[in-house]
């Protein structure tokens, strides 16, 4: 990968951060937060994307971002109010800007028609094309400044007075001495034609610079030719700038020029007591400047580099580093004892995966070693036993730390959903208030990456068929605007994600009849309300009477369910007629490790996920009952099914004597409790998860596998699958009927 390719990768990574900042800021503005800080954050995000895109000749992206930036500049200058209509256009523009960035990253064609449509909408907000910093009609797509920016009255010009003594502008030496008096900064700024071709403007740059402090500008127009010799695309003006003010850092001054620095001649000379530059990260502009200077300084020769390159084993590219500026507290130091918060280092994922695999092997080896020590029956207080306990503690700490490297907040997925909500609401003619909660809940990266599709489908369904039309809601005494809530939280070692709406709920008689008509259930099937709700997840089920671009509630829900189960999760639907529905996904925090209880069934070692266990107990004869073909056990006054794991998995034909074994009370995702009967409990271990489906095939009742302390394959039980067997469902329903009587 060339140096320029690496910089391109960094640019698009930073674009993702800027787009996220843009989405956050616009959502805040939509909620009424139109303070200067919020608007400036949004403006800065668009400006940064535009500046970096210009360096890579992404002309469509530059032109659109330039018009978008113009509207934002009007808002932050308080010349345009960020009302509902303005925010609607800017939100759509942010969505399109994300599409343009994606097209630039993938080398795809930009949607020029959509760009043109939104540019018209944006320009309309500020009084039409070129009303403020926009592109003139018929102007080249690279954009440029216009006289419409300025109030123009013809006047006689005294060039001598403008240029002082009529001589050339003062130029700084290559190594200027720092002045000890006068303004805080002296700046020589000469734009080149490339600056304007990339939709940057000297006027906007000067305005941003003036916002930092008291500024005096002297313009040198000595290079302007006669009118008949002027090239409209050339740059002829230079500027001598004096900037003064208290507490202005050199880094803040350079930041104003960060995306124009390589398209101009620029010298910044601080006064001797000027503030030190901000200790910020290496921006794309800095990288490009460095690269261009190195290319310019390199001798033109075809001789090979002095550093040898080994073709057989090329060195891996260094990870890209992005280090945002440290936020300062009142004392001037970064939070956390001077360490900058939010510093991010980007490392190739395969390196992290390799590290996790190695730590997993370490955990397996440590488990086997602990097993050997246990079998040796060494005294509990022996030195070896103590060392093994210390090794176990350190291994767990190491594993937790390594897994935290892969942990990501679900915010990255949640932030894609507002756009989906806006598009679906617009297509269905409904008003939707979209609420997100728990965005900072962390989960393994592999889980995060696979959440987008099921969330997309369920949110579309919630809007399309969950929420009523505005007029129908008003007739029911509800507000015209429906609410869809997306939330995430940690619970019992798992992540729970819920999509809920305050719509009409599931029409159970209709759902049941559709299932009967499609032959999915028999007409005389005895189903509870909860079981009827789950029918929408059967293959082939749909409540939609007509086919549309947006799926009806239940269309494709079997695919959603399968994708969630492939992650080791479960999907449960609850509904209250007239009040709304909730789709609950329960997922493992990680697909790599699991805290489990080691049990034995017919000389086979199995693992029960610890997060599902309520407690363990030994059944007593008086607590056991037989109901039909199944058994129940009384657990602290509640009757729950007793499942013999050995017979359920086919390890034995006849159920074992419950009085000779141990029962484990587990809780499933739908809050159902069952007791699992095993022969023996051998302890608690942290195990490394190995995919059974990828290495063998799917097995009902088994979620994955691991390596036991004896070095053998141990199966990890799928508690929800064991408790969700159809025959067990009927048994539990009968049990509920008996309890009700």
| Residue 350 CB coordination number (10 Å) | 9
337-341: which pairs have CB atoms within 8 A and are 24 or more residues apart?
340/279
Using CA atoms, how far apart are residues 725 and 723, in angstroms rounded to an integer? 6
What per-residue confidence (pLDDT) applies to 330?
Answer: 37
Largest CA distance in the chain: 110
Strands 431-437 and 481-491: parallel
- State the Cα–Cα distance between residues 725 and 720, nearest whole angstrom: 9
8-state DSSP, 201: -
pLDDT of residue 239: 92
Helices (H) and strands (E) in the chain, counts: 24, 24
Instruction: Check if the beta carbon of residue 52 is closer than 8 Å to that of residue 284.
Output: yes
pLDDT of residue 670: 61
Q: In whole angstroms, how large is the CA radius of gyration of the chain?
A: 33
What pLDDT is recorded for position 664?
92
Residue 598 in 3-state DSSP? strand
pLDDT of residue 493: 65
pLDDT at 193: 85
What's the CA gap between 255 and 479, in Å, rounded?
47
- Residue 262 to residues 189, 259, 287, 454, 696: CA-CA distances in angstroms? 12, 7, 11, 45, 57
What single-letter DSSP state applies at residue 660? G
Q: Are 491 and 587 in contact (CB under 8 A)?
A: no
426 alpha carbon, distance to own chain's centre: 24
- Helix or strand (DSSP H, E) at 457: helix 452-461
What does the DSSP 8-state code read for residue 249?
B
The residues, ordered by sequence, that sit 6+ positions from 13 with a Cβ below 8 Å of its Cβ are 320, 322, 346
Give dist(CA 321, CA 309) in Å, integer: 24
Helices (DSSP H) in 229-283: which residue ranges?
250-256
Q: Which own/partner pairs from 3-8 qualify as long-range (CB within 8 Å, at least 24 positions apart)?
A: 3/291, 4/291, 6/317, 6/320, 7/284, 7/287, 7/288, 7/291, 8/56
Closest CA to 413 of 440, 385, 380, 378: 440
Q: State the pLDDT at residue 133.
A: 44
pLDDT of residue 482: 92
In contact, 133 and 145? CB cutoff 8 Å: yes
Strand blocks (E) in 336-471: 344-345, 407-409, 431-437, 442-444
CB 397 within 8 Å of CB 423: no
| Burial letters 277-297, b for 16+ CB under 10 A, else e | ebebbebbbbbbeebeeeeee
pLDDT at residue 312 in the model: 35
Query: Which portions of the chain are predicted below pLDDT 50?
Result: 130-150, 152, 159, 162-175, 277-285, 300-339, 341, 547, 552-555, 726-741
């Amino acid at each position: 990968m060339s140096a320029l390719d690496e910089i391109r990768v960094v640019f698009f990574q930073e674009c993702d951060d800027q787009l996220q900042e843009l989405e956050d800021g616009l959502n805040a503005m939509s909620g009424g937060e139109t303070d200067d800080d919020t608007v400036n954050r949004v403006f800065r995000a668009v400006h940064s994307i535009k500046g970096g895109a210009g360096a890579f000749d992404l002309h469509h992206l530059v032109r659109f971002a330039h018009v978008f930036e113009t509207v934002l500049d009007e808002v932050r200058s308080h010349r345009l109010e960020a009302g509902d209509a303005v925010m609607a256009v800017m939100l759509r523009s942010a969505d399109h800007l994300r599409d343009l960035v994606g097209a630039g990253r993938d080398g795809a064609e930009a949607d020029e028609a959509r760009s043109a449509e939104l540019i018209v909408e944006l320009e309309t907000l500020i009084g039409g094309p070129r009303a403020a910093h926009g592109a003139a009609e018929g102007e080249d797509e690279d954009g440029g400044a216009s006289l419409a920016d300025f109030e123009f009255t013809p006047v006689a010009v005294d060039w001598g007075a403008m240029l002082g003594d009529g001589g050339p502008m003062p130029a700084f030496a290559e190594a200027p001495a720092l002045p000890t008096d006068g303004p805080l900064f002296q700046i020589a700024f000469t734009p080149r034609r490339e600056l304007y071709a990339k939709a940057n403007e000297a006027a906007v740059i000067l305005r941003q610079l003036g916002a930092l402090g008291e500024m005096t500008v002297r313009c040198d127009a000595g290079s302007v030719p006669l009118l008949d010799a002027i090239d409209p695309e050339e740059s002829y003006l230079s500027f001598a700038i004096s900037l003064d003010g208290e507490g202005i850092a050199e880094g803040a001054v350079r930041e104003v020029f960060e995306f124009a620095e390589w398209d101009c001649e620029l010298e910044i000379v601080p006064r001797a007591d000027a503030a030190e530059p901000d200790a910020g990260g290496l921006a794309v502009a800095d990288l490009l400047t460095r690269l261009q200077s190195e290319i310019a300084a390199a001798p033109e020769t075809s001789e090979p580099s002095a550093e040898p390159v080994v073709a057989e084993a090329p060195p891996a590219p260094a990870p890209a580093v992005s280090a945002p500026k440290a936020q300062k507290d009142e004392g001037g130091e970064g939070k956390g004892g001077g360490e900058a918060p939010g510093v991010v280092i980007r490392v190739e994922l395969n390196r992290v995966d390799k590290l996790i695999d190695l730590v997993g092997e370490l955990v397996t080896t440590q488990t086997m070693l602990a097993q050997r020590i246990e079998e040796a029956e060494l005294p509990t207080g022996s030195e070896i036993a103590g060392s093994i306990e210390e090794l176990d503690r350190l291994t767990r700490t190491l594993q937790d730390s390594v897994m935290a490297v892969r942990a990501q907040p679900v915010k990255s997925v949640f932030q894609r959903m507002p756009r989906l909500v806006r598009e679906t609401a617009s297509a269905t003619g409904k008003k939707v208030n979209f609420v997100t909660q728990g965005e900072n809940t962390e989960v393994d990266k592999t889980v995060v990456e696979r959440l987008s599709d099921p969330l997309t489908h369920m949110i579309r369904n919630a809007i399309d068929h969950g929420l009523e039309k505005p007029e129908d809601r008003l007739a029911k005494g509800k507000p015209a605007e429906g609410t869809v809530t997306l939330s995430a939280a940690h619970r019992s070692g798992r992540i729970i994600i819920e999509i809920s709406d305050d719509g009409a709920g599931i029409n159970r008689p209709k759902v049941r009849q559709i299932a009967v008509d499609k032959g999915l259930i028999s007409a005389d099937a005895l189903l509870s309300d909860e079981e009827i709700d789950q029918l929408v997840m059967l293959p082939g089920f749909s409540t939609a009477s007509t086919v549309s671009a947006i799926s009806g509630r239940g269309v494709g829900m079997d695919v959603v369910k399968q994708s969630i189960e492939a992650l080791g999760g479960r999907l449960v639907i609850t509904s209250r007629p007239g009040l709304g529905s909730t789709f609950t996904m329960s997922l493992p925090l990680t697909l790599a490790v699991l805290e489990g209880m080691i049990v034995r069934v017919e000389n086979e070692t199995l693992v029960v996920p610890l997060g599902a266990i309520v407690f363990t107990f030994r059944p007593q004869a008086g607590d056991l009952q037989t109901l039909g073909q199944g058994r129940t056990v009384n657990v602290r006054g509640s009757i729950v099914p007793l499942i013999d794991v050995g017979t359920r998995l086919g390890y034995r034909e006849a159920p074992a004597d419950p009085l000779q074994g141990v029962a484990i009370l587990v809780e499933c995702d739908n809050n159902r409790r069952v007791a699992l009967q095993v022969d023996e409990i051998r302890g608690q271990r942290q195990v490394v998860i190995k995919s059974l489906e990828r290495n063998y095939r799917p097995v009902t009742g088994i979620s994955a596998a691991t390596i036991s302390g004896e070095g053998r394959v141990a199966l990890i039980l799928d508690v929800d699958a064991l408790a969700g067997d159809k025959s067990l469902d009927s048994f539990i329903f009968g049990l509920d009927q008996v309890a009700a009587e």
